[in-house]
Structure 1
């Protein structure tokens, strides 16, 4: 869901860095969703533990790759624009990005 911004009495929808590649990102998430459904089917059909773990590893790798792609878009677009403008917004965006990176490192 895009965020709304108030600008001189009118409401605008914010455009985030991933917007131009939105279709690609959605396709990627659909593939990941399919992988997770595959895991469910594997458990339902009593597949071998190692096969399930191998598929789980693939899902984790796909999610990490997606997260890194989103982080890259955020740094280039949101953080880049904020830093160019300077001030408190820049500090806030850098802090947000640092916290997101820390969360990714812990996961």
Structure 2
């Protein structure tokens, strides 16, 4: 068993997002209206954000919780990692 939590439940969501991206590519290739393309791109961003938040929640419930109980320095390192991620992608 891996030391990290499973994110297998995210695979169907990732597959759907990949399908959305393929759809956007087809829209561009067929010369669809710009606003329609932008609307679909926003949908892709929203789908990816949902996946990202789910992975983050799992991380916080699993990895971070375990660190809090075991090692204060490791907890602080993991909190810093999360903060860096959040600041980087604002």
TM-score normalised by structure 2 residue count: 0.90
- Map 1:10-29 → 2, pairs under 5 A: 14-17=2-5, 19=6, 21-22=7-8, 24-29=9-14
Give the C-alpha shift of residue 101 in structure 1.
Answer: 2.1
Aligned partner of 2:69 in structure 1 is 84
- Map 1:1-107 → 2, pairs under 5 A: 14-17=2-5, 19=6, 21-22=7-8, 24-104=9-89, 106=90
Q: Which one has the largest radius of gyration?
A: 1
In terms of fraction of residues, the more strand-rich structure is 1
Structure 2 CA distance for aligned equivalents of residues 96 and 58 of structure 1? 27
In terms of fraction of residues, the more helix-rich structure is 2
| Matched length | 90
Q: Please tell me the root mean square deviation across aligned C-alpha atoms, in Å.
A: 1.4
Q: Which runs of 5+ in 1 are unaligned?
A: 1-12
Aligned partner of 1:5 in structure 2 is none
Q: Which runs of 5+ in 2 are unaligned?
A: none
